[in-house]
Amino acid sequence: MLCSGRNPRQTKSIVDEVRERLKHEHKLRPRSVEGQAQGDWVLVDYLDVVLHVFTPETRGYYGLEELWGDMPSVELDAATA
């Protein structure tokens, strides 16, 4: 799963929220979390699902969507609080 936050602070908040919900609602904990200290690209590995949360600049630079170009894409509206 790929998504973007507007800045490192928001990417960290997105990751925190996903982790809390999966922990409390499904008793799931990630195997590993990388990049949360910097916040430009946070990777959360749940084994069956890997979450990548980027800032827009970092997402554009690495272009992970190109690696899975033949996979279906689902666009979601921005979440609102």
Q: If you search the block for the tokens 């996903």, which residue do you land on?
A: 18
Q: What is the DSSP letter of 65?
A: G
pLDDT of residue 81 exceeding 70, the answer is: no
Q: Where are the domains of the chain?
A: 2-66
Neighbours of 65 (CB within 10 A): 12
Considering the domain delimited by 2-66, tell me its CATH architecture: 2-Layer Sandwich (3.30)
How confident is the model at residue 10, as a pLDDT?
96
In this prediction, residues 42-68 reach a mean pLDDT of 93
How confident is the model at residue 80, as a pLDDT?
54
* Whole-number percent of the chain with pLDDT over 90: 75
Q: pLDDT digit string (tens) for 20-53?
A: 999 999 999 999 999 999 999 999 999 999 999 9
